[in-house]
Amino acid sequence: MRRKFVAGNWKMNKAADAAVALIEAIKPLVAGLTADRDVVVCPPFTSLSAARTALAGSGIGLGAQNLHWEPAGAYTGEISADMLLTSGCTHVILGHSERRQYFGETDETVNRKLNAALKAGLAPIVCVGETRQEREAGRIEAVVLGQISGSLQGLSPAQAALVTVAYEPVWAIGTGLTATAAQAEEVHALIRGRLAALFGAEVASAMRIQYGGSVKADNAAELFGQANIDGGLIGGAALDAASFAAIVKAAG
C-alpha cells in the first residue's frame, strides 16, 4: 500500500515572513493528518531557514525547488544538495516543466541533479509531462516515457525506490484546465509500466506518482482516488492554507 503524498510547490512566491505566516496557518489545519500521509512544502531558497523553524515538530516536511549537481565550487548563483540538507530540507523538486521551459533543464541535467540529491540523502520529486501541442500530436507516451527513461537513467532499483515521480501535463499547470481523473490515470499507469520495465515490478509498485496541474480542493479527491495516483504536487492552491489543507484531507 503506497502512502499518499501531497507537496506544495510555492514557486517564486512567499518571502520569509510570508512563508512563516502561511506555514503557521497550515499547521493547525493539517495537524493529525500527517500520521498516515506525507505532506511537504517547498518554499523558495531564501525562505527555507525560516520555514524550517516554523515547521519544527509539525510533521510537515521541507523541500526545495531545484539544486545544482556539483557539491561546491565556482557556480555563481547555484545551490548544492548539501546546502539544502543543512537548511533543513528533506525533499527537492527536480525537472519541473517551468525549469525545462525557461531555464534549459533537460533530462540529462535532471539526471545529474537526481544523482546529487540521492547521494546527499534528499528525497527527489522528478517532474515529467507533455505540452498541449505534444498531446494533440499524439505524442504523450513518447514524451512522458522518454522523460522518465532519460531522467532516471542509470539508477539502481534501490535508488529508484527513493524517487517520487510527478506527472504534470504542461497544459494543466496554472491554467485551471485539470486533466480529468481518467486522463491522468491513463498516463500514470503508463509511467508505472515504464518504471516496472526499468526497475522491476516490485519497485515500480512501491514508487509514488503524484499528479500536478490545477489540483484544487474540489477535484483532488477524484484524482487521488485513481489506482495509480498517489497524491499531488500543488501549485497555486498550495499558497492558500485552507485550500492546501483541503487537498491534504482529500488524500485520506
193: Cβ contacts below 8 Å, ≥ 6 apart? 204
C-alpha to C-alpha distance for 4 and 199, rounded to whole angstroms: 21
By C-beta, is 147 or 214 nearer to ligand 13P? 214
Question: Which listed residue (107, 168, 185, 230) binds ligand 13P by CB under 6 A?
Answer: 168
- Catalytic site includes residue 96: yes
Is position 235 an interface residue for ligand 13P (rule: CB under 6 A)? Answer: yes
The least CB distance from residue 167 to ligand 13P, in Å, is 11
Question: Which listed residue (165, 234, 241, 246) binds ligand 13P by CB under 6 A?
Answer: 234
Q: How far lies 75's CA from each of 43, 46, 70, 116, 120, in Å?
A: 22, 18, 9, 15, 18
Is position 41 an interface residue for ligand 13P (rule: CB under 6 A)? Answer: no
Is position 215 an interface residue for ligand 13P (rule: CB under 6 A)? Answer: yes
Is position 173 an interface residue for ligand 13P (rule: CB under 6 A)? Answer: yes
By C-beta, is 12 or 227 nearer to ligand 13P? 12
Length of the chain: 252
Q: How far lies 5's CA from each of 45, 58, 165, in Å?
A: 22, 16, 11
Strand 91-94 vs strand 61-64: parallel, antiparallel, or unpaired?
parallel
The least CB distance from residue 26 to ligand 13P, in Å, is 16
Look up residue 237 and give its three cell numbers: 492552491
Look up residue 165 and give its three cell numbers: 515521480
Strand 91-94 vs strand 208-212: parallel, antiparallel, or unpaired?
unpaired
Is position 174 an interface residue for ligand 13P (rule: CB under 6 A)? Answer: yes
Nearest by Cα to 226 from 167, 147, 155:
167
- Catalytic site includes residue 105: no
The least CB distance from residue 223 to ligand 13P, in Å, is 12
Question: Which listed residue (26, 114, 236, 250) binds ligand 13P by CB under 6 A?
Answer: 236
Which residue numbers are catalytic? Answer: 96, 168
Residues that bind ligand 13P in the complex, under the rule CB under 6 A: 9, 96, 168, 173-174, 212-215, 233-237
